[in-house]
Amino acid sequence: MYIRDIIMTKRFGKTLSAEQIRHFIEGYSAGDIPDYQAAALVMAIAIHGMTPEELSVWTDSMLHSGSVLDLSSIPGTKVDKHSTGGVGDKISICLAPMVAACGVPVPMISGRGLGHTGGTLDKLEAIPGFNVRLSTEKFIRLVGSIGLCLIGQTKDLAPADKKLYSLRDVTGTVESIPLIASSIMSKKLAEGIDGLVLDVKVGRGAFMKTEKEARKLAETLIEIGVRAQKKVSAFITNMDEVLGNEVGNALETKEALDVLHGKGPKDVTELTLKLGAEMLILGGKADGEEAARKILEKAIESGSAIEKMRTLIDAQGGDSSVIDQPDLLPQASHKISILSPESGTIHSVDPLKIAHAAMMVGAGRERSEDSIDPAVGITIIKKRMDKVTKDEELAILHHNGGSSVEKAKETVKAAYTISDDSPERCPLIIDIIKGD
């Protein structure tokens, strides 16, 4: 079988056979197929797409390019959650312990922030000592003993995805829906999960800019999961504004802890409860959303959710004192208040500009090898639909100095649109799609 023939097949928009797909994934993973030929095939896929059958085999081949975890010895239905990434998205940090406290095991392998979206691992590492680089053996052991574990992708889980993602990043094919979906699902299926809840974000602060794109991605992800005989549901959620009030790693971690204490922002709490309820349903702990929500709310009120977080931090080498003393999290040495230039109603706060401003002071990374400052970021004081008077505080920029501070300040200010008219209320959750 020749790689040139495989490329030509897809170049002319024809369907690849299962044998052709497996030959390519195995050969590229082993280093037998050069990047320039792989790039040609990936570009052809980005242009012509893939049939559901092709995509199922492609994902399965990527999944089996490395180890697939076996969690069958752990009682219960194992359920994870994945977000396509947004500005201020710290949901996993409060969601995982809350769901685990309700009896559903949560094996969660997360990523780092790249570009304008923050990464769960970076936020967790803002907790002093928290170790996300655990072996798969310890990962399985902790899921079995405490009901959850949050780590980064190990080198032996879906290694084909790592190689292909790097290639897509430099060939302009990152946005291809089949390639996005197979990348997400190959890693998630490698965790050994039984169920998955997806948070597909859409809007200015998301990778998917239109509802049509988001819906197509959600449906594609669900179809892959169903073909793999997993329970899968997808939420399409609004990312036209920052989620919560904090952007930046330590700031967002503190806000996630606030949710577990029962005093988090309304939107973060609501989305956590919605996603968590679906995880409990897939995990067999509740028959419907209302019953599941009550179980989650009881976990917050009783303190079992925050205690599960304390257990997680201790188990992964972190300082659980942050639970009661959040000031132990890294703090920036300087704060700048961003004041409103006029009176009126906040019409919008551009999440992309807020994210870019946070990156300017060191909260994010342009390239995977860039370092980040866990202490810096932005606190959003005034959000969409809030009233504001001239010179009232809109936001706070947390920084540790540097040449980009002034530009970051102006970018935060430019993110705000203020008018005399009140904007229409936008739903946090646009739609829910469930697998058969």
Annotated catalytic residue within 10, 22, 82, 353: 82
Cβ–Cβ under 8 Å, residues 183 and 164: yes
DSSP 8-state class, residue 114:
B
Of the candidates 365, 332, 346, which has an alpha carbon nearest to the alpha carbon of residue 413? 346
Q: Is 82 an active-site residue?
A: yes
Residue 302: what residue type? S
Annotated catalytic residue within 161, 240, 258, 350: 161
Q: Is 169 an active-site residue?
A: no
Annotated catalytic residue within 187, 215, 310, 356: 187
Q: Which pair of tokens denotes residue 241?
A: 């504004």
Annotated catalytic residue within 168, 231, 308, 384: 168
Q: How many angstroms separate the CA atoms of 286 and 128, rounded?
A: 35
Q: Is 161 an active-site residue?
A: yes
Of the candidates 263, 265, 261, which has an alpha carbon nearest to the alpha carbon of residue 244? 265
What are the backbone dihedrals phi and psi of residue 133, each rounded to the nearest 5 degrees, phi first? -105, 60
Q: Is 187 an active-site residue?
A: yes
Cβ atoms within 10 Å of 285's Cβ, excluding its own: 20
Annotated catalytic residue within 183, 186, 233, 348: 183
DSSP 8-state class, residue 322:
G
| Active site residue ranges | 82, 161, 168, 183, 187
